[in-house]
Amino acid sequence: MSEYSAPTADMLFVLEHIAGLSQLADRDAYEHADLDTVEGLLDEAARFMEEQLVPLNRKGDEEGLVVDNGKIFHPDGFADAYTRFVEAGWNGISMNEDHGGGGMPWCVGLAVQEMMTASNMAFSLCPLLTQGAIDAISHHANETLKEIYLPKMVSGQWSGTMNLTEPHAGSDVGALTAKAVPGNNGTWLISGTKIFITYGEHELTENIIHLVLARTPEAPPGTKGISLFIVPKFLVDDDGSLGARNDVRVVSSEHKIGIHASPTCVMSYGDQGGAIGWMVGEENTGMRAMFTMMNNARLSVGLEGLSLTDRSYQQARQYSVDRKQGKAIGAELDAGESSPIADHADVRRMLMTMRSNAEAMRCVMYANAAAIDFAITSSDESEREHWDAVTALLTPISKGWGTDLGVEMTSLGIQTHGGMGYVEETGAAQHWRDVRIAPIYEGTNGIQAADLVFRKLPLGGGAVIQEFMSEMTNLASQLIENDRLAPLGTALADGVTHMSDAALWLGGRLATQPNDVAAGSAPFLRLAGVVVGGYYLARSAQIAQQLLDAGEGDPDFLNDKITTSMFYGEQILPTAAGLVTTITRGADLFFAIPNERL
């Protein structure tokens, strides 16, 4: 089994030329994020993740967790690795400096997170959930709560969780029944059961800060009656030290397909009369606060698709070079010799499909993170609104398309190994098993597709998506004028046309035939991902060609960048055409067979 090596050269290329790192570094908030500093940071992050987390990935998969008397323990090495992770400052690399964070742009933090997730996805979920909890507290809690919790959560000394789902409710958060009744001195007493709580209990940190959705006594039904509460595992005394154990306990940890070293807990609140909590924000505004947390997490979950695709690709690439079988077409071999399977066309098809999709995902997700950075640091209101709109459009694509691809590409990684891919000793199957949860996390991909077509397509009366498609069309026109890149420009132009046709059809039925829109939402999400990914790869190819023409950069790296983009344009972008018919067929056949005969 090959090890993981962080693709820092490609990360830096995307940060500089797609995410706009230099433009971010011109802003006061990120003036310390110049390219040289970021390059050094990524090199050090790569060294840490490869040395500390990669060796634990297989160990965590094989040994899993130990649940003992209400406590959960990781395999040997995880706790020490987490301590070193925190001491090195990686937990708060993109967090606010006022609370002890590194203050780096979110796009830089996302690159570090990509390395961490690819190195060990099960480990990465603890910092990911903490990061989301920090975001919700930062935006919605009062100053007292911020001062108590944020410094130790930013450092990683304390971790955080999200508590949404209940056994009967699933994705229907509005159906939750957890209760919150007034306690003493502004506190609330929380009771109820939550399921699928990632890192709900563990030994890595001294305290766990649960963010819990619950209903107050007079709350209206549905999502309008939900409030958000901070419920720590251990209460915090006035001097900041840990006090008594709160009335919250882990009931069990699920046995899962993958991420065996990540605890997925059933949590019980209030068995002894009520877990003490503090309200975040105003009463009945919990969904707004939780969506802050979820939108942060959705990009991070999308990144899981990229990270595991790249990890799987690296292993498949190495295996295909080392493994010899058969004689490739045109190969000149001595008697008895065989060709590396990398020399066979179908294996190359799989490898190039994995590589080009990984590079497309990296571009989309880093651009998504940079849009958040530009919005946060924009002093001009119209500029901020522009970047907020880009963020809104890209987030469901990053999460939905990215995680769907993660499952498909890690499956291709298994296929590249042939029969050995289905044998656990190679480790190829772990990447697929680990990433399989990602299309379900943080709103299933059906929810992401519905969000894209029902909420994001109508933004600005359709102007947001139209402006984005105009940018893509303009780039395609430029590439068509370049001899080398013209085929990529033509493929992109065709893809944008298909995306526009599908978006117009969906938009025309939003008000009158919503079920038709819902039926076409998932294939439209795929189409949008394919085309937007192609757009950013086309930008990459254009920039790579400009650097070659100027005699700058590594020619092999830049030519490979162009080739990968051209492969995507030839083999991936044309799939958009077939999706239009699927999108525009409507929902009639979906419901033509009654439930009892399904």
Is the pLDDT reported for residue 294 higher than 80? no
Is the pLDDT reported for residue 149 higher than 60? yes
3-class state of residue 223 by DSSP: helix
- Report d(CA 544, CA 371) in Å as an integer: 22
CA 304 to chain centroid, in Å, comes to 5
Structure tokens at 334: 């001595």
**In this predicted structure, what is the pLDDT of residue 235?**
97
| Residue 2 pLDDT level (bands cut at 50, 70, 90) | low
Is the pLDDT reported for residue 93 higher than 80? yes
Is the pLDDT reported for residue 74 higher than 80? yes
Q: What average pLDDT score do residues 125-148 get?
A: 95
CA nearest neighbour of 55 among 90, 20, 21, 80: 80
**In this predicted structure, what is the pLDDT of residue 1?**
54
* Number of C-beta neighbours around residue 1 at 10 A: 12
**In this predicted structure, what is the pLDDT of residue 145?**
97
Q: What average pLDDT score do residues 6-33 get?
A: 97
**In this predicted structure, what is the pLDDT of residue 291?**
77
**In this predicted structure, what is the pLDDT of residue 170?**
67
Is the pLDDT reported for residue 275 higher than 90? yes
- Report d(CA 307, CA 169) in Å as an integer: 30
Is the pLDDT reported for residue 384 higher than 90? yes
**In this predicted structure, what is the pLDDT of residue 72?**
97
Q: What is the pLDDT of residues 568-584, one digit of tens each?
A: 999 999 999 999 999 99
Mean confidence (pLDDT) of the chain: 96
CA nearest neighbour of 296 among 128, 492, 507, 164: 128
Is the pLDDT reported for residue 435 higher than 70? yes
- Report d(CA 56, CA 37) in Å as an integer: 29
| Residue 176 pLDDT level (bands cut at 50, 70, 90) | confident
Buried-state track 498-509, b at ≥16 Cβ within 10 A, e below 16: bbbbbbebbbeb
- Report d(CA 444, CA 264) in Å as an integer: 17
Q: Which residue has the tokens 């044998």?
A: 423
Catalytic residues: 442
**In this predicted structure, what is the pLDDT of residue 3?**
85
- Report d(CA 433, CA 412) in Å as an integer: 13
Those residues with Cβ within 8 angstroms of residue 441's Cβ, 6 or more apart along the chain or in another chain: 297, 301, 304, 403
| Residue 29 pLDDT level (bands cut at 50, 70, 90) | very high
Is the pLDDT reported for residue 334 higher than 90? no
Is the pLDDT reported for residue 318 higher than 90? yes
Q: What is the pLDDT of residues 439-451, one digit of tens each?
A: 999 889 999 999 9
- Report d(CA 561, CA 128) in Å as an integer: 30
Is the pLDDT reported for residue 289 higher than 90? no
Contact present, 456 and 393 (Cβ < 8 Å): yes
Beta bridge partners of 232: 209
- Report d(CA 94, CA 150) in Å as an integer: 13
- Report d(CA 89, CA 545) in Å as an integer: 37
**In this predicted structure, what is the pLDDT of residue 64?**
97
**In this predicted structure, what is the pLDDT of residue 171?**
67
For a pLDDT cut of 90, what percent of the chain falls above it? 92
Element (H, E) at 229: strand 227-232
**In this predicted structure, what is the pLDDT of residue 335?**
86
Rg (CA), the chain: 24
Is the pLDDT reported for residue 172 higher than 80? no
Q: What is the pLDDT of residues 33-61, one digit of tens each?
A: 999 999 999 999 999 999 999 999 999 99
**In this predicted structure, what is the pLDDT of residue 168?**
80
Phi, psi of 211 (to 5 degrees): -100, 120
**In this predicted structure, what is the pLDDT of residue 223?**
85
How many residues are listed for the chain in this entry?
598
Q: What average pLDDT score do residues 222-235 get?
A: 94
CA 589 to chain centroid, in Å, comes to 33
* Number of C-beta neighbours around residue 104 at 10 A: 24
- Report d(CA 214, CA 226) in Å as an integer: 6
Contact present, 356 and 537 (Cβ < 8 Å): yes
